[in-house]
Each structure stands twice: as structure tokens, then as C-alpha cells.
Structure 1
Amino acid sequence: MKRRISSLFNPKKEGKKAEKTTREHSIEGMTNLPQSFSIGAGGGFGGFGGVASPSLAGAGASANNDRNMQSAEQLVLDLSNPELRENALLELSKKRELFQDLAPLLWNSCATIAALLQEIISIYPVLSPPTLTPALSNRVCNALALLQCVASHPDTRMLFLNAHIPLYLYPFLNTTSKSRPFEYLRLTSLGVIGALVKVDDTEVISFLLSTEIIPLCLRTMEMGSELSKTVATFIVQKILLDDVGLDYICTTAERFFAVARVLGNMVGTLAEQPSSRLLKHIIRCYLRLSDNPRACDALRGCLPDILGDTSFQSCLRDDPMTRRWLQQLLHSVNGNRVALQAGGFDHML
């Protein structure tokens, strides 16, 4: 599957090859892969115009896969060697999707996950006061990219979760520095969480809620870059779409209004700096909140008026799905003003 993050990050300077690698992450995937080798590429063999027979092409692909796997195994072994680890992190993060079943290899090889966690823990002291350098940020982001690979794989996802590895990333999401090294660190950490919630699984949602992921996402939604805000809002959206997540956020007025306040602030910011991608996730969050009767009643008093006028008409011109969500939201919130028998959040407060 094509990965989109490289089109989102476009770094202005490339004196740091490793730094470029760490930006190639997103809520959907990780990297634009180099073109695979092919026996029929180029000028071909013996004047046959570069056209290989199916049997030759198949043999070539198999041999290439074997070479890739041997290379992956060696690089994974190198992770356990402190002197070779930095290069291994870089090479594996760049080529992780070129290596089949890299996630099980990372998880099941001796001391590999421990080495990745060691990389993460090693920079805790520079988080406060914020003295994280680009080189350190890049190196840890490469380690996080490999953890995202593990979090994405169906054979290792629950093992990853049951080991409570996401908790090691939470200190990065709790930072407030807006410098580039910290922003990349937040974004890559969010990518790992995003990989977990991308597959609908109530057990994943319950774990994240029990470890207080919502306040960390709200922090990023308030002060992160557009891309970090988008990934954090996507995570909140996926949590809300699960019944357990919706019930959790709508159980108390404090939780609901904390989420609604941040969503409202982002809508106000988007009025000046539109982003159709971010707006899409915000509207989906609002629409899901409106499925809860008390939350829907409360939205009548806190849903931004700007969503009901033409301010975002041009922003959503090419997104009929989000326009339909917005229409459903406005109808749910404004189209039915019958008082709730159980009372709304105002009654709870």
C-alpha cells in the first residue's frame, strides 16, 4: 500500500539522511519504498530487450527475497551490538517494508525489543529541560518506526500491547516543546499508537483508555503541528467510534467538555488556516459524539457556529463524504430539540 507521509513532510534541508528517514511515517503507513530489483529491468540479457520469461522472473524474485531476508536478519542481529546499532536502525527503518515478516523477526529475536526500548529510555533525561538534539531525535524515531512495524503486524500486535510497550512512548507525547526534534518525536510516537487503533479492536481501545491516552492526544491537538494534530485527532476518532470509547468520554461532563473544547479550538484555528484532512477528522469526532443523547444535547451549546455557515465550503468542495457527515451532524444537533428525559450534562454539572 502506498504510504503518504513523505508527501506530508518535505524537509527543506537534507544534510542529515537519517532525519529524512524518520519523517516517512503516517497514520496509514510508513515509507515510499525503493523500486524492487527485477531480472527484466534495464537492457536485459543477451539482446532479448530486457524481457524475462516468467520462470526467470519468478526465480529472480525468490532469490531477491532470500537476499532481503538474509540482510534483515543480519541487521536485526546488529541491533544488539551498540557499535552497529545506529546504522542498523537506519537501514531497517528505511527498508522495513522491503523485508517480509520483519515484525515477527524483531519480536522473536533475542534482546531486540530490549535494545529498541533502551534507545527510547536513553533520551528521557533530555526531555526536561528540553535539550533533545536532531541527531538523538532521529535515532529514536528510527527505533519507533520499527516498533510501529511490530504494532501493525497481526501476529505481534497483541503481544506488543500485552507487554505494555506503548507506555514507554507516553513521555514523548507529554512534551510541550515545539522544536523540530520534539515534533518529529511526537509524530512518530503517535504513528505507533495510530497503528494500534487502525484495526478496530475493543481490547486495544480499553488498554489505551486505561492508560490515559486521551489527555495526551488532547495536548498534541492543542499545540502540535498540523500533521501531529491530524494523527492525534485520528486516534481520538478511532477511540470514539468504539462503543467503549464513546461511553468513556461521555460518562462525565468533565471528559466530554475537555474533548469538545479542544475540538472547538481547532475549528477556530482552521478558519484561518484551513486543512481539509484535519477538518475531516474533527467533524467525524463531533458526529460520533452526537450519537450519545446527552453529548448531543450538550453540543447544541458548544458546537462552533462556523461549522453551520459557508466558512468551510471551499475546504470541503472535493470531499463529499465529509460534507455529508457535517450535514448529519448539524441535523442531529439542531434538528431535534426535544428535551432529554434523563437530563443533559448541565444537569450533571
Structure 2
Amino acid sequence: MNSPFGGASSSSSANAIGAQANKDRKMQSAEQLVLDLSNPDLRENALLELSKNKELFQDLAPFVWTSFGTIAALIQEIVSIYPVLSPPNLTPAQSNRVCNALALLQCVASHQDTRMSFLNAHIPLYLYPFLNTTSKSRPFEYLRLTSLGVIGALVKVDDTEVISFLLSTEIIPLCLRTMEMGSELSKTVATFIVQKILLDDVGLDYICTTAERFFAVGRVLGTMVATLAEQPSSRLLKHIIRCYLRLSDNPRACDALRSCLPDMLRDATFGSCLREDPTTRRWLQQLLHNVQGPRVALQAGGGFDHMLVN
């Protein structure tokens, strides 16, 4: 029964105060764990706890970025396993530990207040050796996937400056490598990154500027389509079709797709996958309309005709 003197209101106030106190305790705990990262003896536990609970801590990314020595400690964790990348001797424990460090970097890459500082410091370059590996063992696959997660966090926000940086540092060949040999999940994230790059005009122009770049991307997309015919994945197919659709926005690329678009996208091979995904089905219909419609006149300077793959 509520008191005539405002018991209900007092209860609400007490709950709000309790929630704020709990939030403050969590943030104090997070701040202490971040400080522990600078201590080699405490770092492993701090990495584990922070990576498991990073969503619970508000403004963790700015604190990680601005606290003394923290980013240096995370980079130290990353470079410490370079020697075991080739020949491949990465253990599960080493992979887990560096992936916990990468999870914190993903947090920094995702936050609006730290994203550009993260990029301007060229920190993504420290992850590229992980994307250049070819071992299919679980420790390496986990490492590639987590590294792709950091890059994926950067491209989720449409920003031409981010795209330009990634293109200038040759991210496309690294994504293509994963799209060829990674697990379904890592292929999906890598294809998503290529899709986001293509959706930016700078990215589309970059890939369609030369026939070599266009066909490098087209070859890998085609290989994945053939693989999906045997091992279907609606999620991966969605990103592949979106990449093709965006390529068809470029006149020369669209002309080239008339010869190199996989037949399996033109027939009913993926009918079952598309039946329950109206968005992807609509994208495919638009792609086929673009490619099979009236032939697009080539711009001055020629197109890809001399290199078309029949």
C-alpha cells in the first residue's frame, strides 16, 4: 500500500539511485580493469573480463583510448604473436588472448568519439598480418574472424574517409583471400566489408578503374557462388548478390557482367534460399535487369571487353 506521503515516488527514486550506483560500480570496475592492462601480470585477466563485458560498460572506448599506455599494451599483445604466424604455430590460448585484445580495439573502432583517432593512428595495419594467413585451423580462423570484426566495425558507418584509408592500405586483396579460403562466417564478414566499400562511390570507382581489379573481385564472387550451390548460405548469398548489384551500377562493369555473371544466378539454383528473403530476391531481379537489359554504351577509353571471361 502506498504511503500518503509519496511512498511510490520514493520507491522509484530509490530504484533510480540504486541503478545509478550499480552503473557507477560497473564503470569503476571497468576503469580498474583498463588500468590493469598496463601491468603484464594482470593483463590476461583484464583482457578476458573486459572483452566478455564490454557492452556493459558505457564509454569504455574513450577510456581505453585516452588512458595512459592502454593502446600500447593492446598493440604489444598483437605484435607478440607475429612470430608464430609463419610457420603456423599459433596455439588456442594465444589466439584467445589476442582476440580479447582485438575485441577491445573493435570497441574503439565502433565508437563515434574514437573511430577517426583509431584510423588516423593506422592501427588497422597491425591486424593485416592476421588476414594474410592461410591456415584453416581454429586458432587462425578465430583470429581472422575477430580481425575482420574490427574492420567491419569501421565500415558500418558510411564514411568515405574510412573507405579511402582501407583502399589505400590494400584491404581488398586481404578480404578476397578470406572470401576464398575462410569459414562461412569469416567469408560473410569479409564479403560484407567488400560490399560496404563498393557502396561508397570511391570504392566502386577504385574497383572498376582497371580490369584487373574488377576481375579479381568478380572471380572470387563467382567461386563463392559455385560453392554456395553445394553448401547454401542465405546470409552469404545476400552479400554476394548485393556486391554484384553494386558493380552493375558502373557502366563498364555492367557490360563485363553480361559475360561473367554466374549462370547459377540467372537460373533457379538458389530459388529455395531466395524464397524467404524478399530483399535479396529483389536485388537479384534488379541485377538481372541491369545486366540483361539494353547494352550500355562504353565510355571513352574503352571497357573490359578485351578481357572478358567467356
Instruction: Give TM class, smaller chain.
Output: over 0.9
Residues in 1 aligned to 2:73 and 2:299: alpha-carbon distance in whole angstroms: 56
Partner of 2:304: 345
Structure 2: unaligned runs, 5 residues or longer: 1-9
Aligned counterpart for 1:68 among listed residues 26, 38, 42: 26
CA contact (8 A) 2:109 2:118 kept: yes
Partner of 1:98: 56
Q: Does 1:175 align with 2:133?
A: yes
Q: Does 1:280 align with 2:238?
A: yes
Residues in 1 aligned to 2:19 and 2:75: alpha-carbon distance in whole angstroms: 34
Partner of 2:4: none
Q: Does 1:80 align with 2:38?
A: yes
Aligned counterpart for 1:329 among listed residues 264, 287, 297: 287
Aligned counterpart for 1:151 among listed residues 109, 130, 133: 109
Residues in 1 aligned to 2:307 and 2:60: alpha-carbon distance in whole angstroms: 50
The Cα of 1:55 is off from its aligned counterpart by 1.3
Partner of 2:91: 133
Partner of 1:45: none
Residues in 2 aligned to 1:140 and 1:316: alpha-carbon distance in whole angstroms: 38
Q: Does 1:166 align with 2:124?
A: yes
* Cα RMSD for the two superposed structures: 1.1
Residues in 1 aligned to 2:296 and 2:75: alpha-carbon distance in whole angstroms: 53
Partner of 1:204: 162
Opposite residue 241 of structure 2, the aligned amino acid is I
Count of matched residue positions in the alignment of Structure 1 and Structure 2: 298
The 5-angstrom pairing of residues 1-349 of structure 1 reads 53-340=11-298, 342=300, 343-347=302-306
Partner of 1:40: none
Residues in 1 aligned to 2:188 and 2:18: alpha-carbon distance in whole angstroms: 41
Residues in 2 aligned to 1:132 and 1:230: alpha-carbon distance in whole angstroms: 23
Residues in 1 aligned to 2:92 and 2:163: alpha-carbon distance in whole angstroms: 32
The Cα of 1:347 is off from its aligned counterpart by 4.3
The Cα of 1:348 is off from its aligned counterpart by 7.3
Opposite residue 303 of structure 2, the aligned amino acid is G
Residues in 2 aligned to 1:129 and 1:323: alpha-carbon distance in whole angstroms: 44
Opposite residue 345 of structure 1, the aligned amino acid is F
Residues in 1 aligned to 2:295 and 2:235: alpha-carbon distance in whole angstroms: 31
Q: Secondary structure at the match of 2:271?
A: coil
Q: Secondary structure at the match of 2:232?
A: coil
Q: Secondary structure at the match of 2:86?
A: coil
Opposite residue 186 of structure 1, the aligned amino acid is R
Partner of 1:18: none
Q: Deviations over 1:206-265 (max 9, x none)?
A: 000000000000000000000000000000000000000000000000000000000000
Residues in 2 aligned to 1:73 and 1:236: alpha-carbon distance in whole angstroms: 35
* More helix per residue: 2
The Cα of 1:317 is off from its aligned counterpart by 1.4
Opposite residue 141 of structure 1, the aligned amino acid is C
Residues in 2 aligned to 1:69 and 1:339: alpha-carbon distance in whole angstroms: 60
Which shifted more, 308-317 or 213-222? 308-317
Residues in 2 aligned to 1:280 and 1:307: alpha-carbon distance in whole angstroms: 12
The Cα of 1:337 is off from its aligned counterpart by 2.4
